[in-house]
Amino acid sequence: MGSTVNIGIIGVGNISAQYFAELPKHAGVSIVAVADVDQNRADSVAAERGVRALSVDALLADSGVDLVLNLTIPAAHAEIALRALESGKHVYGEKPLALTPAEAAPVLEFARDTGLRVGCAPDTVLGTGVQTARHALDAGRIGAPVAASVHWSAPGHERWHPAPGFYYQPGGGPLFDMGPYYLTSLVTLFGAVTRVSGTVTRSDRERTVSQGPLAGQPLPVAVDTHITALLEHASGVTATVTMSFEVWATRAPLFEVYGTAGTIVVPDPNNFSHVGEVWTQDTAEWMPLDDAAGFRDGGRGIGIVDLAEALDEDRPHRASGDMAFHVLEIMDAILRAGDEHRVIDITSTVERPEAVPLR
């Protein structure tokens, strides 16, 4: 590994703790500064973690910061990403890349023009769970892939999150919140998506915050809360996808891949190291998939580690802005397809990322 990539975090809410837990485990990356719209919160986190607390402007201008980790709310993702790039820094953000493809496009265009890198969550797909499932698929364990079925659902994040309002505003909802984990995994397994159709709806159920200082506060809902989509990949594989904040209980499969000779159960792509299963016509029983690829015991931030290594090795990084843009266009198209009752072609494409060796 070459020189260390120094990271400045903008936005130190709940999710930042997971990055602070993972990144110090890896050589070649170092968190050096934090900033937040709430300066008191930035000061508190900085003191706890032994880094500098700066204003957002000061962090963007700081020559000691090489990469901005953008953990702001979705509505600010594109603005902060573009400002980071304009400051001459690489940027890696939480999902989604932006609220719309039109908002995200200038970010990627500026990065291409300047040679800077854009990375984006989820990097869970780089863990042993999804990577081992991909290894089994690529090894032909279930023959040729034909289709996949994805189902994620919950009653709503207000049942556990102390401040869930943003989940019900543009940039939130089950599709934009949880969809990137599953859609990024689908593209990692089968390649780019070429067209989608979908249906969308929302119930009139009244929602309130369940716990914390906002308990009992009503939640206005400005997004669709139950989405079903059909995706067609350029490879010919089709996938059905359901994302919902309307389901109290289910026995539906979470993530299954169907091939000409068997089935793979892909472990929860919101986690890094869960174990998948495979059933083949030869064994006729479910067998666990032993770790064969991916970051062992990974956590949020391994996408940044891969980006730093890619800079050193002059290769593409895996949790890329291009992948995030493709997934964003898919999500945007699903919602439009549901509203407009039509099939929508996907105009962007992305190369299937290189597999991650077991490490």
Mean pLDDT score of the chain, rounded to an integer? 96
* Distance separating alpha carbons of residues 351 and 191, to the nearest angstrom: 7
Same domain, 183 and 257: yes
Domain boundary among 120, 150, 176: 120
Number of domains into which the chain is organized: 2
pLDDT tens digit string along 68-116? 999 999 999 999 999 999 999 999 999 999 999 999 999 999 999 999 9
Those residues whose C-beta lies under 8 Å from the C-beta of residue 233, and which sit 6 or more positions away, are: 186, 187, 190, 191, 192, 193, 194, 239
Q: Are 344 and 195 in contact (CB under 8 A)?
A: yes
Percent of the chain with pLDDT over 90: 96
Return the CATH number at 145. Answer: 3.30.360.10
Same domain, 146 and 223: yes
SS3 215: coil
Same domain, 215 and 80: no
Give residue 241's pLDDT. Answer: 98
pLDDT tens digit string along 175-195? 999 999 999 999 999 999 999
| Identity of the residue numbered 151 | H
Same domain, 55 and 162: no
- Report strand pairing: 277-280 vs 262-265: antiparallel
Give residue 129's pLDDT. Answer: 98
pTM: 0.95
Same domain, 220 and 165: yes
Give residue 117's pLDDT. Answer: 98
* Distance separating alpha carbons of residues 346 and 192, to the nearest angstrom: 9
pLDDT tens digit string along 250-281? 988 899 999 999 999 999 999 999 999 999 99
C-beta atoms surrounding 138 within 10 Å? 12
Return the CATH number at 44. Answer: 3.40.50.720
Same domain, 79 and 131: no
Instruction: Give 13's strand partners.
Output: none
pLDDT tens digit string along 125-169? 999 999 999 999 999 999 999 999 999 999 999 999 988 998 999
Go through 307-336 and write b for each residue having 16 or more CB atoms within 10 A of its CB, e for each that does not: bbbbbeeeeebbbbbbbbbbbbbbbbbbbe
Domain that holds residue 154: 125-299+325-345
Residue 320 within any structural domain of the chain: no
- Least confident stretch, 1-5, 57-61, 267-271, 276-280: 1-5
Same domain, 295 and 155: yes
Nearest to 303 by CA among 161, 95, 155: 95
Give residue 1's pLDDT. Answer: 53
Same domain, 199 and 147: yes
Specify whether the backbone of 143 is left (phi greater than 0), alpha (psi in -120 to 50) or beta. Answer: left
pLDDT at residue 171 above 60? yes
Same domain, 22 and 152: no
Residue 147 within any structural domain of the chain: yes
Same domain, 107 and 130: no
Domain boundary among 72, 104, 120: 120
Same domain, 65 and 163: no
Q: Please state the separation of Cα 57 from the chain's center in Å.
A: 26
pLDDT tens digit string along 204-257? 999 999 999 999 999 999 999 999 999 999 999 999 999 999 999 998 889 999
Domain boundary among 120, 145, 172: 120
Give residue 328's pLDDT. Answer: 98
Residue 139 within any structural domain of the chain: yes
Give residue 253's pLDDT. Answer: 81
